[in-house]
Structure 1
Amino acid sequence: MLKPLGDRVVVTFEEAKEKSVGGFVLAGASHEATQTAVVVAVGQGVRTLNGDLVAPSVTAGDKILVENGAGIDVKDGDDKLSIIRESDVVAIVE
């Protein structure tokens, strides 16, 4: 299991596929500005100039919207994960 540092968040992206009338499968992320992901792990947060720790606003298990193309892709065993910054999170889906 990956443990992110600072304000980083480990997520798994949901693969959205759309089917056209002709039966062609189009990747959902190819034309959208955001992607849906599930938070797997969260770092402890970021420190201010005073040394105070600011806790992240997302927790493991949250469903979130992330800017398209954000973060880096990694593999943990057979799992395909991405590490993003908390600032790349657009919203929490409730």
Structure 2
Amino acid sequence: MNLKPLGDRVVIKIVEAEDKTKSGIVLPSSAKEQPQMAEVVAVGGDIANDDKKKNQIKVNDKVIFSKYAGTEVKIDGEELTILKFNDILAVVE
């Protein structure tokens, strides 16, 4: 199934957090923080048509987003998040 966001929305896929700390301690899932880094899967039409925004973000970019932003959905067994363009804080290069 293809997911096409509307307006200035972006679809992202969360990048999994590390299971170990730098010192080698294994973290249980209950102790992990929700990751704030994700990969852009799709962008809405308003972003693609806006010259300023389309140069800032594109599909496959790694981004950092606001902690409690977006709506989580499950499509074809894959967990995705739909959020507004303004909830993206930075692009990781």
By the TM > 0.5 criterion, same fold? Answer: yes
> Greater share of helix residues, 1 or 2?
2
The root-mean-square deviation of aligned C-alpha atoms, in Å, is 2.1
Larger Rg: 1
What residue is the counterpart of 2:33 in the other structure? Answer: 28
What residue is the counterpart of 1:44 in the other structure? Answer: 45
| Percent of aligned positions that are identical | 37
- TM-score, normalization: structure 2? 0.77
CA distance in 1: counterparts of 2:25 and 2:60, whole angstroms:
36
Cα 1:28/1:41, change in 2 over 3 Å = same
Following superposition of structure 1 onto structure 2, how do residues 34-73 of structure 1 map, counting pairs within 5 Å? 35-45=36-46, 54-55=50-51, 56=53, 57-73=56-72
Point out where structure 1 has 5 or more consecutive residues left out of the alignment. 47-52
Q: Deviations over 1:22-80 (max 9, x none)?
A: 64423132xxxx7000000000116xxxxxx5253311100000011110001111111
How far the C-alpha of 1:8 sits from its partner, in A, is 0.1
Q: What is the count of residue pairs matched by the alignment? A: 84
Task: Report the residue type matching 2:15 in the other structure.
Answer: E
Task: Report the residue type matching 1:90 in the other structure.
Answer: L
Task: Report the residue type matching 1:40 in the other structure.
Answer: V
